[in-house]
């Protein structure tokens, strides 16, 4: 697995791509809203169950990072909308699956897998993005359980989701140690929100919690232990954001290679220019390096490597793959000239899509901080 996929994994990746090209091709895009018909198709085809590992008939148990990366990369080469819709089913529901009580898991997960229930991961706030431990949305004890007051923003699938994994402050001045996770039904009284309009269409919005009541059974994991639930979710999903980026980069590279063969300049195909050939070589090399880092990070998660190694590998994979994808897509645009900027062109679409992954689930600077701290901690331990 260190340097390539097993035959079974290759077959799985090809199947995902084939299904995306055939079965999903007819689904209408939803342009920045939750696409429920698309989710139903992803459920019907068994792709959503792939988020949680296991065979097609198994109940969702745990997640498998490598399978998640294969799904995301190969869907992304065909449809970024399908890729993102699938990824958000996992991101929003994994806090429930990993930390919810059995009845809470049973209430929400079967619908997530069929595409009938839309979940969302609600961590970011207007005053707490990169510094998520500064979150302020408050949960106070109440006779029925807990009452939530505050705001979340940049929440994918909001305000249309059916259930939100909400990270709330339960102990003041305790930073990351005073956060609790809750499963909050989308139709809870006191919960409202509105969509936000981004550069690339993405179902996303803000949420207002005005006295939202939840019960004790809605707590995910330990009271004041919610930050770990969020971080474990991100450890799983960060390599797969890298896989999404690799899928987009591969699509841009494929388009650039084809175009360099098709297009003639000065009576010769574009690729006959050495500068073009070298650009294509550099693009392909960086895409392959990014994919290998993604697979290495996913295997370290699946093999249960020590938490510190998993976190460092995930940060490297996300950082390198998302930065690479931005560069590769930009080069592909350059090689195509004006036509790549025309609305509806694949590269015009990828140019807008490729930007956000360098910001969400930890901006590139945050990934560098994680990697740098890990290096220094290891060196310090070796010297003491």
Ligand X SMILES: Cc1cc2nc3c(=O)[nH]c(=O)nc-3n(C[C@H](O)[C@H](O)[C@H](O)COP(=O)(O)OP(=O)(O)OC[C@H]3O[C@@H](n4cnc5c(N)ncnc54)[C@H](O)[C@@H]3O)c2cc1C
- Residue 359 touching ligand X (CB under 6 A): yes
- Residue 31 touching ligand X (CB under 6 A): no
Provide CB contacts within 8 A for 66, sequence distance 6+: 1, 9, 295, 298, 299, 302
CA neighbor of 163 nearest in space, from 97, 193, 119: 119
Q: Report the alpha-carbon distance of residue 170 to residue 183 in Å, rounded.
A: 15
The H-or-E segment that residue 211 falls in is strand 204-215
Q: Cite the beta strand spans of 28-103 per DSSP E.
A: none
- Residue 93 touching ligand X (CB under 6 A): no
Q: How many chain residues interact with ligand X (CB under 6 A)?
A: 20
CA neighbor of 129 nearest in space, from 150, 161, 149, 153: 153
Select the residue interacting with ligand X from 94, 164, 351, 360 (CB under 6 A): 360
Residue nearer to ligand X on the CB measure, 154 or 209: 154
CB of 215 vs ligand X, minimal distance in Å? 23
The residue nearest ligand X at its CB is: 129
Residue nearer to ligand X on the CB measure, 202 or 286: 202
- Residue 176 touching ligand X (CB under 6 A): no
Stretch that binds ligand X, among 216-224, 276-284, 312-320, 365-373 (CB under 6 A): 365-373
Stretch that binds ligand X, among 133-141, 173-181, 218-226, 357-365 (CB under 6 A): 357-365
Q: Report the alpha-carbon distance of residue 142 to residue 198 in Å, rounded.
A: 37
- What separation in angstroms does the CA of 209 have from each of 68, 91, 191, 206, 380? 32, 21, 5, 10, 44
- Residue 320 touching ligand X (CB under 6 A): no
Nearest 5°: the CA angle 258, 13, 1 is: 105
Give per-residue burial for 79-105: e unless 16+ CB within 10 Å, then b.
bbbbbbbbbbbbbbbbbbbbbbbeebb
CB 33 within 8 A of CB 160: yes
Select the residue interacting with ligand X from 27, 356, 367, 370 (CB under 6 A): 356
- Residue 150 touching ligand X (CB under 6 A): no
DSSP state for residue 368 in the 8-state scheme: H
Residue nearer to ligand X on the CB measure, 89 or 279: 89
Residue nearer to ligand X on the CB measure, 104 or 156: 156
Give per-residue burial for 215-228: e unless 16+ CB within 10 Å, then b.
eeebbbbebbbbbb
Select the residue interacting with ligand X from 165, 188, 366, 370 (CB under 6 A): 366
Q: What residues between 108 and 147 interact with ligand X by CB under 6 A?
A: 121-124, 129-130
Neighbours of 56 (CB within 10 A): 9
- Residue 299 touching ligand X (CB under 6 A): no
Q: Catalytic site residues?
A: 361
- Residue 363 touching ligand X (CB under 6 A): yes
- Residue 202 touching ligand X (CB under 6 A): yes
CB of 61 vs ligand X, minimal distance in Å? 23
Select the residue interacting with ligand X from 9, 114, 299, 369 (CB under 6 A): 369
CA 128, chain centre distance (Å)? 19
CB of 267 vs ligand X, minimal distance in Å? 44
Residues that bind ligand X (CB under 6 A): 121-124, 129-130, 154-156, 198, 202, 204, 356, 359-361, 363, 365-366, 369
């Amino acid at each position: 697995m260190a340097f390539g996929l097993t035959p079974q994994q290759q077959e799985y990746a090809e199947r995902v791509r084939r299904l995306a090209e055939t079965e999903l091709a007819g689904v209408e895009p939803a342009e920045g809203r939750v696409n429920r018909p698309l989710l139903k198709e992803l459920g019907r085809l068994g792709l959503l169950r792939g988020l949680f590992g296991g065979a097609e008939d198994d109940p969702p148990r745990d997640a498998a990072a490598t399978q998640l990366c294969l799904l995301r990369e190969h869907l992304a080469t065909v449809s970024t909308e399908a890729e993102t819709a699938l990824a958000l089913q996992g991101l929003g529901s994994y806090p429930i699956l990993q930390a919810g009580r059995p009845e809470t898991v049973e209430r929400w997960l079967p619908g997530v897998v069929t595409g009938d229930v839309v979940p969302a991961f609600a961590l970011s706030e207007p005053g707490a993005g990169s510094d998520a431990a500064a979150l302020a949305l408050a949960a106070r004890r109440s006779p029925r359980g807990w009452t939530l007051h505050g705001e979340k923003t940049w929440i994918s699938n909001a305000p249309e989701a059916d259930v939100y994994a909400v990270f709330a402050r339960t102990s003041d001045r305790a930073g990351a140690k005073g956060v609790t996770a809750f499963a909050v039904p989308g139709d809870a009284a006191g919960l409202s929100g509105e969509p936000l309009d981004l550069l690339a269409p993405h179902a996303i919005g803000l949420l207002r919690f005005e006295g939202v009541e939840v019960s004790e059974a809605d707590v995910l994991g330990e009271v004041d232990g919610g930050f770990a639930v969020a971080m474990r979710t991100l450890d799983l999903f960060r390599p797969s954001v890298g896989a999404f980026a690799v899928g987009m980069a591969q699509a841009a590279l494929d388009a650039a290679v084809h175009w360099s063969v098709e297009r003639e300049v000065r009576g010769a195909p574009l690729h006959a220019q050495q500068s073009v050939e070298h650009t294509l070589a550099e693009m392909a090399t960086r895409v392959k390096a990014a994919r290998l880092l993604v697979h290495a990070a996913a295997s370290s998660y699946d093999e249960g490597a020590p938490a510190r190694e998993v976190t460092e590998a995930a940060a490297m994979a996300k950082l390198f793959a998302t930065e690479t994808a931005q560069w590769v897509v930009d080069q592909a645009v350059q090689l195509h000239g004006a036509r790549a900027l025309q609305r509806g062109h694949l590269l015009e679409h990828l140019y807008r899509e490729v930007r956000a992954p360098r910001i969400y689930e930890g901006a590139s600077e945050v990934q560098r901080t994680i990697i740098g701290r890990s290096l220094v901690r290891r060196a310090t331990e070796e010297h003491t």
